[in-house]
Chains A and B, each alone.
Chain A
Amino acid sequence: MGESMKTKQQQAYQQLANQSAPPRPVVRNVVCAFIVGGSICLIGQLFWSFLMSRGISPKQTAAMVSGFIALLGAVLTAIGVYDELGRFGGMGAALPVSGFANSIVSAALEFKREGMILGMASKMFVIAGPVIVYGLATAFIVSLIQYAIGAVVK
């Protein structure tokens, strides 16, 4: 069988497979993501308002709220709740910083059995690693651009 003939057959099959795949429940997913993501943000907002009412500076408050939500994500992962939250809420659970914590803690828990160094520590950032790498790289490029614009304007 020629290579092009085979590709054609594969294309025809992939079309059939696409037709047979159940549609993703987009509306349901969006609503669930809103409920979960919204609830996490609401908790963050309540904590924010509480700290501000105590006279803590906005800059410090921002850092403390991020830290609190990350801690919440880590604790909910450790007690086996966050995976259920993610299954239900999808991106609503993944996007807040609690989801970032979940990706690190879940990996740490999973690979703990292969040892503290070659297991837990080396595999901890297996999911979060790319976010950190590309986040830092992007931040570096953006700050270079900002610096260049600043120099020109001056």
Chain B
Amino acid sequence: MTAVPKRMGNQTVGFSQPPRILSVATVAGPREGAGPMGSLLDLVVEDTLVGCKTWEQAEASMLESAVNLCLKKANMSSDKVQFLIAGDLLNQIVSSSYMARQVGIPFIGIYGACSTVSEGIALAAMIIDGGFADYVLVATSSHHNTAERQYRYPTEFGNQRPPTAQWTVTGAAAILLTSQVKSGPMVTSATVGKVLDMGIKDPNDMGSAMAPAAADTIHRHLTDTGRRPQDYNAILTGDLGMVGKKIAGELLRKSGLDLDGILDDCGLKIYSGSQDPHSGASGCACSGLVLGCSLWPQLASGSLRRVLLVATGALHSPLSVQQGESIPSVAHAVCLEG
């Protein structure tokens, strides 16, 4: 393999010894289990409380299950893993911290809202390629009910959602990266996105808020690597939903990039139309589940050769929205190759 420069262009890093993704584990709730990817999930819980007293405990417990499953699938013990990078949507990323309390791996907590998966994979790959670790775990979770009560209304409150609204995925994903194997899907480059804010203030329209960040990061990645969209089997944004995907496609077209047939969104893959998700799915687990159920197996089997996963995050808080602030957004891209 020819040596890849560590820095490519302004925002992209290349990995000279691309870390491999050893295993991915996915855990999700019943609604996700009934969706198009239901049969591909590693574990579907029947009850969104998972036998816990609170939704928050349930989310942390699902995240812990995902981490344990991921280690089990790779036949690894947790003491061999040098770093655990995790994040979620809740205040002070409590789901991740309570999960980390149980698993006992040195913990790096991150917040990137729904962009956490690619943010975590990018950081893990940098740590491994930098020679600071042999095994790094990345984990993230979201829960419809914890997100609803934190960002919107009580879960039993009878309000009508606008068509632009999205449904937060109840689920968790864990990804184990390593420098110690020579085969399997690998992370070859990563583009860390800038925070963009185009003045969208409606927290029920996060697709519109995040689309510019996604388009910017995709454009930046392609410029930095000198590639064309056709060099990828798929470019998957995180959770733009129907509304945001359309806008992102339009923005990229305006900057001279035609992604027809290549651009897709993880938020459109979790629920079927009959499940009434409005604009689509969202949440940290959204792109994590798609990575585990669809991308990783297809990269491993060779049916996908190269994909760009561009998880997108809306970085507002309920407080900032109430104070009239618009929604800042970010998107991070990781290039995965089979």
Could you mark each residue 188-229 of chain B with 1 if its beta carbon is under 8 Å from any beta carbon of chain A, else 0?
000000000111100001001001100000000000000000
Q: What DSSP secondary structure best describes chain A's contact surface?
A: helix
Residues of the A chain whose Cβ atoms lie less than 8 Å from the Cβ of B279: 22
Which residues of chain A in 64-99 are interfacial with respect to chain B, using CB atoms and an 8 Å cutoff? 77, 80, 82-91, 93-94, 99
Task: List chain A residues, Cβ under 8 A from B205.
Answer: 17, 21
B255 within 8 A of A: no
Let me know if A9 and B156 touch, CB within 8 A.
Answer: no
Q: How far is the CA of A86 from the CA of B158 in the complex (A)?
A: 4
Q: Hey, which chain B residues are within 8 Å of A89, CB to CB?
A: 158, 160
Q: Mark B21-53 against chain A: 1 for CB-CB distance below 8 A, else 0.
A: 000000000000000000000000000000001
Interface-facing stretch out of B79-87, B241-249, B265-273: B241-249
Q: In the complex, how many angstroms separate the beta carbon of B36 from the nearest chain A beta carbon?
A: 21
B6 → chain A closest CB, angstroms: 30
Q: How large is the interface on A (under 10, 10 to 19, 20 to 34, 35 or more residues)?
A: 35 or more
Main secondary structure of the interface of B (DSSP, over half): loop
The docked-state distance in angstroms from the alpha carbon of A134 to that of B68 is 52
Q: By the criterion CB–CB under 8 Å, are A16 and B250 in contact?
A: yes
B153 neighbours in A (Cβ, 8 Å): 106, 127
Q: How far is the CB of B198 from chain A (nearest CB, A)?
A: 4
Distance (whole angstroms) from the CB of A117 to the closest CB of chain B: 17
Given A10-B198, A21-B208, verify A86-B159 contact (CB < 8 Å).
Answer: yes
Q: Which residues A19-33 have CB closer than 8 A to chain B?
A: 20-25, 29
Q: Decide if B164 is an interface residue (CB 8 Å cutoff).
A: yes
Nearest residue, chain B, Cβ from A73? B158
In the complex, whether B131 has a CB less than 8 A from a CB of chain A is no
Instruction: Flag whether B54 is at the interface (Cβ < 8 A).
Output: yes
In the complex, chain A residues whose CB is within 8 Å of the CB of B73: none
